[in-house]
Structure 1
Amino acid sequence: MEPAPLVLLHAFPFDSRMWDGVRDLLKPITPDQRGADRSPDLVAVADDVLRLLDERGVERAVLGGCSMGGYVAMAVLRRDPSRVAGLVLADTRAGADTDEARANRLAMAARVEAEGLGWVPDTVVSGLLGPAPDEAVVGRVRELILDQDPAEVVWAQRAMAARPDSADVLAEVDVPALVLVGEHDALTPPALARELAGMLRQGEYVELPGVGHLTPLEAPDAFAAAVLDWRRRAGV
């Protein structure tokens, strides 16, 4: 039997190009998550993912996401878990935002609406990467952020701020699941990732050394190798 297709959902504030470093090894489907013409709810892009599977004739897929992409994967599970053959959750969390985190998201959305994206890289890049990032990676992260549509950045922040807690959804999922996290992830640290893996009936935990919140960008070869090894062992 052919393995299920792998769908990878990108982090915020990026697009599907964040997966370029893993394409050759993983051969993923990588949609762009776009919703600025709709109300701020991640269900909108979750439904887009399900439509994409329908268009491609894919009955079930291994669904992966990094950071916001993980939230979208959880929204897909909320909509139709029967379409998910396996999960890859990288540098993400199950919980809804705290009041403080929600307020910070909404403040950032308002500032981007007023001022554009020029200030964003200087504010967020250091918190996204590990302690000694490669300069080429730093440059690529900055480039990808500045290349986004400000309206999409605003929409994504507001949609993430409104997302529900997904612990109940994950507890019901009975498919192979891989939880990946960077050793130095300051936003969704290893302790939180281990907790996430523990929510899943078939959860495995992998920590990638030396990197932060953007494991597929910082360590694409290690990320791809971990996913390939897990898929081989899990049979998905």
Structure 2
Amino acid sequence: MSALLAMTRHGPADGLPLVLLHAFPLDQTMWDGVLAELGDVPVCTLDAPGFGSSPPPRAVAESLGRALAPSLETYADAVAATLHDAGVSRAVVAGLSMGGYAVLALAERHRDLLAGVGLLDTRAEADDAAARANRLKVAELAAGPTGSGAVASMLTTVLGETTLQSRPDVVERLRAALAAAPPTGIQWGQVAMAERPNRLHVLPDLMVPALVLRGAEDKGSPQAAAEAMAERLGDVEVVVVPRAGHMSALEAPAEVAAALRRLYERCG
């Protein structure tokens, strides 16, 4: 099976593309609200290994000649291979949460691909022991009878308080997405994220325009983590989206799209 990930092009066919990498445990449809604001920008959205329409993680790793153990390095290599196959040698790449971890891995492994980077509701540091243990527990649950139910509790932790209290449509959309999350993808993603290294060191010499964005109500990616990345980047805009949590692209798509557009224009 091919290592190529499922990719969808949006907007104009020509021009430097903006590539968007989704959060765990969703798929590329997470970006639909953002895409509605970026109709004049060439955008590519991709599904991570084991999510959406992409091949299973094992098949991706085998096709790339990489070890089968879950890793964000494999994800980054697959993104690079997919874009190369599509004729994309340079792109502005932005990712939210797990997608941001993949952008950091791309910055370490495929720097020539990057014309700009967007790090949304993410962090460059590795997990601490407690967070790592929790990820591995969720992975174990997803591999058993619990399946997709292993991530059901994320509903109240990744959405901001404003969304939970006043945006029932967003709450229900995420509830449905969590219930539909593929157990294989959940297991792979949690182990890959648990094993990721600290990548703050890749940022100081990343000489491209950058965006660091977080929802003001994001409990998982605090302001200190955003500032740690921003202070190591040169040409960076820092954005805090009010009344949004960890899933800022779902909760405030217009604001996230506006920030991504500014990043894209800085890379032109």
Q: TM-score range by the shorter chain?
A: over 0.9
* Matched-pair identity in %: 42
Matched ranges for 1:195-206 at <5 A: 195-206=228-239
- Aligned residue number for residue 32 of structure 1: 47
**Which residue identity lines up with residue 206 of structure 2 in the other structure?**
V
**Which residue identity lines up with residue 156 of structure 1 in the other structure?**
G
Q: Is the contact between residue 220 and residue 246 of structure 2 (CA under 8 Å) also seen in structure 1?
A: yes
1:120 aligns with 2:151: yes
Match of 1:83 among 103, 110, 113: 113
- Aligned residue number for residue 17 of structure 1: 29
**Which residue identity lines up with residue 169 of structure 1 in the other structure?**
V
User: Are the structure 2 counterparts of residues 57 and 190 from structure 1 closer, same or farther at C-alpha, using a change threshold of 3 Å?
Assistant: same
Q: RMSD in angstroms over aligned alpha carbons?
A: 1.4
**Which residue identity lines up with residue 5 of structure 1 in the other structure?**
P
Q: Is the contact between residue 249 and residue 256 of structure 2 (CA under 8 Å) also seen in structure 1?
A: yes
Larger relative contact order, structure 1 or 2 (CA cutoff 8 Å, min sep 6) = 1
- Aligned residue number for residue 136 of structure 1: 169
Q: Is the contact between residue 92 and residue 267 of structure 2 (CA under 8 Å) also seen in structure 1?
A: no
Aligned length: 233
Unaligned runs of 5+ in 1: none
2:75 aligns to what SS in structure 1? helix
Residues 19-40 of structure 1: CA deviation (Å, up to 9, x unaligned): 1111133352111001532321
Residues 49-97 of structure 1: CA deviation (Å, up to 9, x unaligned): 1111111211110010000000011111111101100001100000011
Q: Which runs of 4+ in 1 moved over 4 A?
A: none
Unaligned runs of 5+ in 2: 1-13, 51-56, 59-67
Matched ranges for 1:1-236 at <5 A: 3-26=15-38, 27-35=42-50, 36-37=57-58, 38-114=68-144, 115-121=146-152, 123-133=153-163, 134-232=167-265, 234-236=266-268
Residues 85-142 of structure 1: CA deviation (Å, up to 9, x unaligned): 0001100000011111111100111111122112522x11111011121111011111
Residues 156-215 of structure 1: CA deviation (Å, up to 9, x unaligned): 000111111101111220100000110110000123212211111222101100110011
- 1: CA distance between counterparts of 2:242 and 2:112? 34
Q: Is the contact between residue 182 and residue 190 of structure 1 (CA under 8 Å) also seen in structure 2?
A: no
Q: TM-score, normalised by structure 2?
A: 0.83
- 2: CA distance between counterparts of 1:19 and 1:39? 28
